[in-house]
């Protein structure tokens, strides 16, 4: 398959559904070889199988972003099978429903959030991005090239009532991204952020809550991430680092920067 990403080796975490799966498919459609990384299970296997049946070069990569050992084994697989990694998309995360299933209709104050729920979400959404990046960045440094794309959320989410710990987790993700970009500049490795620009139709919003929101909130399709993630993974974005791109404003962003 010919495309703008032919001969590019890419990992997308949290790729068994939602934004991750949509981005993986968009990258595959441009000719990339994509490892869909997620905790092992039938969901991941089925997603990869369906993509392979469509003729895409999709690979199943079992990886728990909270486990150093699991990430290390994934990195060893990449070195052995691919010999390099061109793009890493950090997307794996869990949402507010893990601490409050009714977070959109009945927001819960931070002082009612359990310490376990807080730690669990932060471990996945923040520490997970750190652990995966920490493991794969040295390979990119060694190559003298590579791109890291960290998926984030609206600033509104970081300030919204009842959004502890999800809001703080994404604020931390953005700070981490800016610092990573600075730390990796001298090595020819770039780090950028990408966010949908609104609530998306993913598993992070419980089905019953989604039904209640229909007609009241304009939920975005995960495919809103397709064009900007392909851009960030391609040669078009070479040299771009420390940027925060909102998917729904992507065309405006490109126009403003003359890209």
Active-site positions? 166
CB 226 within 8 A of CB 117: no
What three-state secondary structure class fits 206?
coil
CB 168 within 8 A of CB 175: no
Using alpha carbons, list the distances in angstroms from residue 255 to 151, 164, 238, 258. 22, 35, 17, 5
CB 195 within 8 A of CB 245: yes
What three-state secondary structure class fits 68?
helix
Strand ranges inside 55-184, DSSP E: 58-62, 87-90, 146-151
CB 247 within 8 A of CB 224: yes
Q: Which residues pair with 147 in a beta bridge?
A: 87, 190
């Amino acid at each position: 398959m010919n495309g703008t990403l032919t001969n590019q080796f890419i990992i997308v975490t949290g790729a068994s559904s939602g934004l991750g799966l949509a981005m993986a498919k968009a990258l595959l459609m441009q000719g990339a070889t994509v490892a869909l990384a997620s905790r092992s299970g039938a969901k991941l296997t089925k997603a990869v199988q369906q993509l392979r049946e469509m003729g895409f070069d999709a690979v199943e990569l079992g990886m728990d972003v909270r486990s150093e050992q699991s990430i290390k084994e994934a990195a060893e697989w990449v070195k052995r099978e691919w010999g390099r990694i061109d793009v890493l998309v950090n997307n794996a995360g869990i949402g507010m429903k893990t601490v409050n299933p009714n977070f959109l209709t009945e927001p819960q104050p931070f002082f009612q959030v359990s310490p376990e729920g807080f730690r669990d979400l932060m471990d996945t959404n923040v520490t997970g991005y750190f652990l995966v990046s920490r493991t794969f960045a040295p390979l990119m440094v060694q190559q003298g090239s590579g791109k890291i794309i960290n998926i984030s959320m609206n600033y509104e989410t970081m300030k919204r009532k009842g959004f502890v710990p999800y809001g703080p987790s994404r604020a931390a993700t953005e700070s981490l991204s800016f610092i990573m970009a600075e730390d990796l500049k001298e090595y020819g490795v770039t780090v950028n952020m990408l966010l949908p620009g609104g609530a998306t139709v993913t598993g992070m919003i419980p089905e019953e809550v989604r039904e209640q929101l229909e007609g009241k909130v304009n939920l975005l399709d995960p495919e809103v991430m397709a064009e900007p993630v392909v851009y960030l993974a391609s040669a078009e974005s070479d040299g771009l680092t420390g940027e925060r791109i909102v998917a729904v404003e992507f065309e405006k962003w490109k126009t403003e920067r003359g890209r």
